[in-house]
Each structure stands twice: as structure tokens, then as C-alpha cells.
Structure 1
Amino acid sequence: MEIREPEPAEAERIREVVDSSMTTSFRLSPAQIDGLVDDQFADEAVADKREDEETLLQVAETGAEIEGSTIAGFVEGRLEDGWGEVRWLFVDPEHRGKEIGTELYETTTETLRDRGADHVRVTVLEANTEGHDFVERFDLEHDGDRRVEIADESVVEYVYTDPDVDADLPDSTAEDASEAEFPETERVDGQLTTTDGGTTVYIARDEEESGTAAPFFTTYEDDAHAEQFGFYCANCGSLEVSMDNMDRLACADCGNTHAERSKESYDDSYL
């Protein structure tokens, strides 16, 4: 396997890897995946990234002995204010289990440090069901969330850093997810609330479940959070959220959905 910079003509193959990886591992709709791939990995977008001196693109090419030579993985990194950031990392599902993801991660972080990065952080979309466990295996810790706009979609990404790093993350135009506004809510005595037919419902900000469009939050009938009411959809502000016998949440108003991500269901082949 060879780790190298991609050639201009390889943008289409990169999109194929990204699309197949997202389809397998991301809790996003086909339309959301198409929009993200078109926004971030179209020919022009990849060309702009290749020309940006602060951006690092690398691909993993399999050897001829593995069903012929082909690009099986892709990673994007960037330098910013003394930080190196691993922004995207994808491995074609057909080539997982060969430590391609590990090799891409380690090569990219080493290259970013060689180029002057004092610290390295990794950003992972909340909807990436396998990426979080992958990153945590390198002893990185979840250092915060932020809401960003990608392809006209408001999504949450997790930021991971080394646990011993005592430095502020660089300023970002991204909105801190913990400070994002919630539709159809107001504060009552310092607590975030919404209403159901005129009845006040209390939203537990510390009881969050991931969603494809925005998180879900547990709601209560009382300000002491003793009697559970249901769930609140932070994408549209609805309380019309159902849960099936597999603990999957779905908003009846906007289609936002949630499926539990657990380390027990993590696929080691991602490495």
C-alpha cells in the first residue's frame, strides 16, 4: 500500500470512495450524502484543495497484488493557527480490515506535525457512526461540539484532541453546538422549555441523543426532571417524536432520525 498525494484525474475515484464509505458508515439520507459529496469533493472543490498550501490531501493506493492497484482510502488535513486538523478520512468498505484507515491517520498527523503543527485535532461528523470509535482508539478525547453548515445542511461535528493538550482551539466561524438556538423554545426560570397544547415541557440539555439533522433531547413534565414527557427534536422544534422497540427515534414532522451508536456494534474493519 502506498500513501501519496492524489493526481487531478483521480477526483472521480475519490468521490466514489467517499460516497461508498458514507453510505456504509454515516447516518445520513441518500440526498444528504449526495449534497455533501458534491459540495466537498466535486472536481473543482478537490482542485482548489490541492492548490491550497495549508490543505493536505492524501490517498491510499493498494498494491497490484490486492485485486489490482486502486485508491482505497482518502484523507484531508489542514494547518490552521498552529493546529493540524484531520477533517475527513474515508476507507472504501470493500478494502476495510487492512489497516488502511490507521495508516492514513498516522501518516497525515505526522505530515501535519512536520509542516509545523504544534497540536493535532480531529473532527468527526456526529452522523459518522463508526468514526468516533476509530478516533478514540488513538487515545484522543472528545473536546467539544460545534454546528457547521455543509452543503446547506446544519450538522454537528465532534472535535477530538490529545488529552494532555492545554491550549485553546483556534477561533472558528462555526457555532458552538451547545449554544445553538433551539426552535420553538423559551427560557423559564433559567430552564429551556417548549409547549405542548399550552402545557410547559422542560428540555434536559444534558440528555442528548444524536440525530441525522439535529440532536434529540429528553423532555420532562416538571422542572425537577422527574417525570419524563418524551423527546424534543432540535431540528424543527417538534415534540412529535416516536421511539420504536430498538430505541430508534424519529420526528414525525421533519423526518429527523436517530439510531443508537454503541462501541459494541463498532466494526473493527474500519481500521
Structure 2
Amino acid sequence: MEVRDATDGDVEEIRAVARASLDASYADALGEDAVEGMLGEWYDPDRLADRLAADGVFYVVAAVEGAVVGFAEVELDEPNESAAEIQWLHVRPDNRGEGVGEALLERAEERALERGANRVEGVVLAANDEGNAFYHAHGYERVGTHTVDVGGESFDEHTYGKRRSAEGPVDFLEEHDLDGETVYVALDERERGSEAPFYVAYTDDARENKYGYYCSNCGSFDIVMNAMERMECGDCENSRKPSRWDAAYL
């Protein structure tokens, strides 16, 4: 098995792997219409070509005898690329259990570390028992659960996280001095932003007293949220970004 960076020539094989994997993992939970919607939106050939060329995104593929049997799609948070999110990790059903997923995850983590990321996150639907067990088995902590809408239906999705450096694992809490007060930013509790993520902040390291949110785009704690839960930084243009599962994507 060869694990390498993806190229433009891998687009059609990536699409084929995604279709087979989504059918096997999600058709029962989401329905065939939702799976078709995801394929059309997330694996459109033009979108894949744009993503392969994007600075903040990388794909790694696993090939057996020259044929792509799995891939991982990873997006780095801007602007400092300190976090990487595994948005998808797909393996052909016939090749599961052969170490393909583990090899892809290891290479994705290595590439993220090379780019400066010190934490990696992965998301998987709660109904996907195999996907949840995969992250558990490879040292990831479940750091959050939220509800996502797919095709008008609601599903629980788990977020898994691993924080590390070249020397090994690193704690998820980051201390900040705010006017003489120590505030703890939880790097495993984040909301996607239009420019960069927002992270939950606490006044104690036991995470019992929530302070608010931290904008990683400009370093501000001046975050406002309205009644509709729209989040916006008071010091820059960063605002809450819709979920990747938003019905508008389907």
C-alpha cells in the first residue's frame, strides 16, 4: 500500500471511493437522497479540483496496486494553521480492516504537524459506530456532540480531538492573561468562524465557570451573540460559520 499526497489525476477515484464509503456508512442512517446530495455538493469534480489547489486544504490518498482505495480530506484553520480538521476519511468497504484508515490518519496527522498544527479534530455521525470506534482506537478524545441537519432531519454528530506537538501529546487548555485575570481557552471546544474558529473560554481550569468565547482570528474575547445564536467578534469581521451539514449544502 502506498500513502501519498493526492494529485489532480485522483479526482475521479476519490469520487468513487466517497460514493462507496458514504453508501456503506451513511445510507441507512441518512437515506439515499441525503447521500446523493452530499456526493453532488462535496465531491463535485470542480469543487474537488479547487480544494486540491487550495493552500489551506490537503488530501492524502492510499493506493493498492495503483488504485485509490481511501483518502482523507483535511482543512487547516486560518490564519495560523494551528488546528486541522479531518472533514472526511473514507475507505472503500472492501478494503476496510486492512489498515488503510490507520495509515491515512497517521499521514494526515504528520502533514498537519508539518504545517504547524498542534491539534487535529475529526467529526463523525453518532450513528456511525465504526467511525466512532475508529477515533477512539487511535487516541482521540470525544470533545463535543452537537445536532446537525441533513435534508430536513436532525442527527447527532460527535467531534473528536487530539492535541500534540513534535514531542507528544499536549493539554487542550491554553492560558491567557486578561487584565490580570487568567482565562482558560478550551482548544477542544470550538465553533467554526468565517475567518477563524471561536473557542470557549473559562475562568477556571476545571471548566466549571464559562467566561465566554475567544476569537482566534484576532485574539479578542469581545464576542457577542444574539438571540438567534449568531456569533460575531467585536474587534474583527469573524462570525459564526454555518455547519458543513447545513441543509443549504444538499
Q: Secondary structure at the match of 1:47?
A: helix
Go from structure 1 to structure 2 and tell me whether the alpha carbon gap of 1:55 and 1:36 turns closer, same or farther (over 3 Å shift): same
The match for 1:160 is 160
Given that 1:78 and 1:86 are in contact with CA atoms closer than 8 Å, whether structure 2 keeps it comes out as: yes
Structure 1 unaligned runs (5+)?
A: 64-68, 175-271
The match for 1:56 is 58
The match for 1:141 is 141
> Does 1:44 pair with 2:46?
yes
Go from structure 1 to structure 2 and tell me whether the alpha carbon gap of 1:125 and 1:7 turns closer, same or farther (over 3 Å shift): same
* Residues 43-99 of structure 1 deviation map (CA, whole Å, 9 limit, x = unaligned): 011112112111111111113xxxxx2100010011115111111001101112220
Q: Secondary structure at the match of 1:162?
A: strand
Q: Secondary structure at the match of 2:191?
A: coil
Structure-2 separation of matches of 1:17 and 1:145: 27
The match for 2:105 is 105
The match for 2:126 is 126
> Structure 1-normalised TM-score?
0.57
CA RMSD of aligned residues (A): 2.3
* Residues 153-185 of structure 1 deviation map (CA, whole Å, 9 limit, x = unaligned): 7654311113842233443159xxxxxxxxxxx
Question: Which one-letter code corresponds to 1:41 in the other structure?
Answer: Y
**159-168 vs 116-125, which deviates more?**
159-168
Given that 2:30 and 2:150 are in contact with CA atoms closer than 8 Å, whether structure 1 keeps it comes out as: no
Go from structure 1 to structure 2 and tell me whether the alpha carbon gap of 1:155 and 1:41 turns closer, same or farther (over 3 Å shift): farther
The match for 1:202 is none
Structure-1 separation of matches of 2:97 and 2:25: 14
May I ask how many residue pairs the two structures share in their alignment?
A: 169
Q: Secondary structure at the match of 2:129?
A: coil
Structure-2 separation of matches of 1:118 and 1:4: 21
Structure-2 separation of matches of 1:147 and 1:45: 26
**155-164 vs 83-92, which deviates more?**
155-164
2:73 equivalent among 54, 73, 76: 76
Go from structure 1 to structure 2 and tell me whether the alpha carbon gap of 1:151 and 1:54 turns closer, same or farther (over 3 Å shift): farther
* Residues 85-141 of structure 1 deviation map (CA, whole Å, 9 limit, x = unaligned): 111001101112220000000100111011010211111133433100000001211
Structure-1 separation of matches of 2:39 and 2:156: 17
The match for 1:23 is 23
Structure 2 unaligned runs (5+)?
A: 164-170, 174-185, 195-250
Q: Secondary structure at the match of 1:130?
A: helix
Q: Secondary structure at the match of 1:145?
A: strand
Q: Secondary structure at the match of 2:117?
A: coil
For residues 187-226 of structure 1, what are the structure 2 equivalents within 5 Å?
none
Question: Which one-letter code corresponds to 1:53 in the other structure?
Answer: D
> Structure 2-normalised TM-score?
0.61
The match for 1:258 is none
Question: Which one-letter code corresponds to 1:71 in the other structure?
Answer: V
Go from structure 1 to structure 2 and tell me whether the alpha carbon gap of 1:107 and 1:152 turns closer, same or farther (over 3 Å shift): farther
Question: Which one-letter code corresponds to 1:171 in the other structure?
Answer: E
Structure-2 separation of matches of 1:161 and 1:91: 20
% of aligned pairs identical?
30
Given that 1:36 and 1:150 are in contact with CA atoms closer than 8 Å, whether structure 2 keeps it comes out as: no
The match for 2:192 is 172
Cα distance, 1:151 vs structure 2: 7.3
Q: Secondary structure at the match of 2:62?
A: strand
